[in-house]
């Protein structure tokens, strides 16, 4: 069944994305530069992935995921929230209950011309400056020739340069593939609890240098 028939007040056309965001931001100040707001996004951007409906959507709108349901109910926003979630999942070619990466969310928002809350834009753009090809082309992490281990390895790198930037830099202050690789292997159980990755330290470093160069 077409989404327009399910939610007649909220058309599924991509041109409606901006209006849905505007509706969902009722009562919010997404330009706030408050320290607490910045810390919220720094916290969430340390995660390797976000659940599309429970985390990514609230963060895109400008709401702490823990307060999302209250915001939706208080402002009577369930219909636009459901409609926007369907549009985002269609744009990312995944289920509404799927996990996605902050990188893919930033890429999608850029494609749609959506203004992100400023603290979120700053943090994601920092990640963009660290691993540009991953951010510009999210499919680089999930193509047919890419393994699950490679995807997890890149996700681990994104998390580590955000959480431990000083440990990931060389003596000249540049992000260093070998140092990041060593950290990934040192903390491997966080991303590979069942064993792995399938790459050596040298292979991980080479993979990361490809993106850092």
Residues 99 and 165 in one domain: no
Per-residue pLDDT tens over the stretch 54-69: 999 999 999 999 999 9
- Regarding beta strands 50-51 and 99-100, do their DSSP bridges make them parallel or antiparallel, or are they unpaired? antiparallel
Residues 66 and 140 in one domain: no
- Domain tally, the chain: 2
Residues 51 and 151 in one domain: no
Reported pTM: 0.58
Domain encompassing residue 154: 132-212
Provide the phi-psi class of 115: left if phi over 0, else alpha when psi is between -120 and 50, else beta. Answer: beta
Residues 144 and 121 in one domain: no
Residues 45 and 121 in one domain: yes
Does pLDDT of 133 surpass 70?
no
Maximal C-alpha separation, the chain: 59
Residues 174 and 114 in one domain: no
Sequence-separated contacts (24+) of 177-181 with Cβ below 8 Å = 177/204, 177/205, 177/206, 177/207, 177/208, 177/209, 177/212, 178/205, 180/204, 180/205, 180/208, 181/205, 181/208
Which candidate, 49, 61, 66, 72, places its Cα nearest to that of 22? 61
Provide the phi-psi class of 174: left if phi over 0, else alpha when psi is between -120 and 50, else beta. Answer: beta
In the structure encoding, which two tokens stand for residue 64, read together?
């702490």
Residues 112 and 137 in one domain: no
Q: Last residue of some domain: 130, 151, 169?
A: 130
Per-residue pLDDT tens over the stretch 14-39: 458 888 998 999 888 776 656 667 78
């Amino acid at each position: 069944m077409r989404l327009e028939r399910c939610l007649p007040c909220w058309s599924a056309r991509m041109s409606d994305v901006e209006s849905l965001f505007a509706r969902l931001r009722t009562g919010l100040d997404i330009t706030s530069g408050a320290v607490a707001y910045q810390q919220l996004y720094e916290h969430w951007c340390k995660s390797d992935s976000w659940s599309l409906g429970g985390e990514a959507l609230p963060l895109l709108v400008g709401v702490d995921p823990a307060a999302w349901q209250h915001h939706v109910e208080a402002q009577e926003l369930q219909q636009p929230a459901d409609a926007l979630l369907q549009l985002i999942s269609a744009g990312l070619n995944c289920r509404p209950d799927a996990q996605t990466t902050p990188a893919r969310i930033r890429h999608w928002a850029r494609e749609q011309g959506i203004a992100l809350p400023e603290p979120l834009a700053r943090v994601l753009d920092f990640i963009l400056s660290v691993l540009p090809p991953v951010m510009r082309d999210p499919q680089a992490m999930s193509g047919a020739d890419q393994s699950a281990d490679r995807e997890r390895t890149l996700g681990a790198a994104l998390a580590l340069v955000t959480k431990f930037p000083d440990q990931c830099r060389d003596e000249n202050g540049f992000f260093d593939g070998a140092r990041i690789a060593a950290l990934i292997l040192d903390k491997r159980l966080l991303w590979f609890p069942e064993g792995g990755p399938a790459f050596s330290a040298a292979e991980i470093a080479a993979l990361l240098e490809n993106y850092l160069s």
